[in-house]
Amino acid sequence: MSSTRPGRERTPCIVLGATGSVGQRLVALLAEHPWFELAAVSASDRSRGRSYGEACSWSLPTPMPRAAAQLTVGGIEPVEEWPLVFSALGSEVAGPAEEAWARSGALVVSNASSHRMRADVPLVVPEINPGHLALARRQPTRGAILANPNCSTIGLSLTLAPLWLAFGIERLHVVTMQALSGAGIPGVPALSALDNLVPFIPGEEEKLPRETAKILGTLTAEGVRPASLSLSAQCNRVAVLDGHTACVSLALGREVGADELRAAWEGFRGCPSELALPSAPPAPVLYLEEEDAPQPRLHRELGGGMAAVVGRLRPCPVLGWRYVTLSHNTLRGAAGGALLLAELAASRGLLEG
């Protein structure tokens, strides 16, 4: 890992799927990253051979980084070798491409769902289950694939982990109200978003319980034994640009007061802040006091867009406790989360081959 430490050179990396909505966030974040350096971008056939500045319909409010704009867009297969690969590919193409990069020796940090449930692929939220990274060494390839969880799962898991550790969780019910950027580019048509909501997101209600159980699960010789908790998710797309909100109700493993819950969240840190990883938020869970918080437009940027923001903790007559949580889906839930995962992997020596 010497190459990624202060005083050393930055590790060159490539972003696969760089023209999409998560890819653009990655490109923006990498422009100022102290450890990693954006060396190449790749995308689907149509963009290949053009400069990134021309090929990409940039949709972030900050300007496209100049250096990125001049990169030529390459294909998604490994032609050159890069030690670090960020994949923002759609799941319909991510699977084989990411495997090819792992065979080429790269450390692949993937946002796609393709490999998340593979027994030897770590599905990691750095504050929660950094130990699962050990799975990567069981992969048969020279390099390895690390999976960043689904955008809704990450924020939810951050709020669950401290409760899970302190009190246990038996059952929970989650209704999400997810942002448009989660559907990528072009994504949801405006005619479906304005004066409307869509109470269905393909695959999402399955991913949330499955991935949460793996993240909170226990590493064994056979892989991760999923946490045993019953989770029901209903997922909706609403007219918000960034920031997934979730209404959570849960039954804990024992009787507990609001103060204890608050303390569990506020005391939660995890290794990213201990290791002072560059993308780590000061505190991964922030509790807001206002009776009408959190709100996407006001609070999604808190903690640099890397925190799960919580509010409205109150008793639930059906399950025990309920609260509202919000996290930035393309930062914490995708690009920022992938970056933090790569930083964790780097600090654990996974980039040194």
- Note the residues at the interface with a copy of itself (CB under 8 A): 21, 58-63, 171-173, 175, 177, 180-181, 185-200, 209, 230-232, 234, 236, 238-241, 245, 247, 249, 291-302, 311-312, 316-319, 322, 324
CB of 267 to a copy of itself, least distance (A): 21
Comparing CB distances to a copy of itself, the nearer of 58 and 75 is: 58
Comparing CB distances to a copy of itself, the nearer of 85 and 283 is: 283
Comparing CB distances to a copy of itself, the nearer of 188 and 345 is: 188
What would the DSSP string read from start to end of 147-158? Answer: EPPPHHHHHHHH
d(CA 67, CA 52): 10
Say which residues have a Cβ less than 8 Å from residue 166's Cβ, sequence separation at least 6. Answer: 256, 260, 264
d(CA 117, CA 103): 19
CB of 127 to a copy of itself, least distance (A): 21
CB of 242 to a copy of itself, least distance (A): 8
**H/E/C letters for each residue in 312-344?**
EEEEECCCEEEEEEEECCCHHHHHHHHHHHHHH
CB of 16 to a copy of itself, least distance (A): 21
CB of 8 to a copy of itself, least distance (A): 32
Total residue count of the chain as it appears in this document: 353
304's tokens: 């640099």
User: Could you give the strand order of the β-sheet that contains 169-178, starting from the edge strand earlier in sequence?
Assistant: 230-237, 169-178, 244-252, 320-327, 308-316, 285-287
Three-class SS state of 89: coil
Instruction: Give kind and range of the element (H or E) at residue 173.
Output: strand 169-178
220's tokens: 């064994």
Comparing CB distances to a copy of itself, the nearer of 49 and 63 is: 63
CB of 63 to a copy of itself, least distance (A): 7
C-alpha R_g of the chain? 19
Please, are residues 137 and 98 in contact by the beta-carbon 8 Å criterion?
no
The answer to whether 328 is a known catalytic residue is: no
Selecting among 56, 115, 132, 151, the annotated active-site residue is: 151
Our CA dihedral for 108, 111, 112, 113, rounded to 10 degrees, sits at: 110
Comparing CB distances to a copy of itself, the nearer of 4 and 249 is: 249
Comparing CB distances to a copy of itself, the nearer of 256 and 319 is: 319
Which region, left, alpha or beta, applies to residue 42 given φ > 0 means left and ψ of -120 to 50 means alpha? beta
Bridge partners, residue 235, by sequence: 176
Selecting among 33, 115, 173, 244, the annotated active-site residue is: 244
d(CA 182, CA 207): 14
Please, are residues 29 and 35 in contact by the beta-carbon 8 Å criterion?
no
The answer to whether 247 is a known catalytic residue is: no
Comparing CB distances to a copy of itself, the nearer of 103 and 171 is: 171
24's tokens: 């653009």
State the residue for tokens 């990409």: 56
CB of 171 to a copy of itself, least distance (A): 5
**Would you name the residues annotated as active-site residues?**
151, 244
